């Protein structure tokens, strides 16, 4: 299963609402996970089952979607949110990741 993400990169300001889209090449129900990765660090789990917020993750992060189209939304971008975001499908083997969306400072 191929995953595409859009945009591949975006520039935003603190306080902005940011939406990232992940599209699967075939239906994956809600078996979609979102990770955040900062330079030189391991990825961090944000959301699983498409919309379930991982414990300890700020509520400004939210996920939605099912089937083939998914979104990650950051309601009010904070300085610590500048990072690369990856989606991953865990419905079919091999589990695959999207190519990533880099969020940087405008």
Partner 1 sequence: QVQLVQSGAEVKKPEASVKVSCKASGYTFTGYYINWVRQAPGQGLEWMGWINPDSGGTNYAQKFQGRVTMTTDTSISTAYMELSRLRSDDTAMYYCARDESSSWSRYDSWGQGTLVTVSS
Residues 6+ apart with CB under 8 A from 68: 23, 24, 25, 26, 27, 28
82 lines the binding site for partner 1 (CB under 8 A): no
Q: How far is the CB of 105 from partner 1 (least distance, A)?
A: 20
Q: Which range in 15-23, 63-71, 72-80, 86-94 contacts partner 1 by CB under 8 A?
A: 86-94
Q: How far is the CB of 35 from partner 1 (least distance, A)?
A: 8
Q: Which range in 13-21, 61-69, 71-79, 82-90 contacts partner 1 by CB under 8 A?
A: 82-90
Distance CA(6)–CA(104), nearest Å, equals 14
Q: Which range in 10-18, 20-28, 49-57, 58-66 contacts partner 1 by CB under 8 A?
A: 49-57
Structure tokens at 103: 């969020």
Distance CA(100)–CA(3), nearest Å, equals 10
């Amino acid at each position: 299963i191929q995953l595409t993400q859009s945009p591949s990169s975006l520039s935003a300001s603190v306080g902005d609402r940011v939406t990232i889209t992940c599209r699967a090449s075939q239906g994956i129900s809600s078996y979609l996970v979102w990770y955040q990765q900062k330079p030189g660090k391991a990825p961090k789990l944000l959301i699983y089952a498409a919309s379930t917020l991982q414990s300890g993750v700020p509520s400004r992060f939210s996920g939605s979607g099912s089937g083939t189209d998914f979104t990650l939304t950051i309601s009010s971008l904070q300085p610590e949110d500048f990072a690369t975001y990856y989606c991953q499908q865990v419905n079919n083997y091999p589990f695959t990741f999207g190519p990533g969306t880099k969020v940087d400072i405008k």
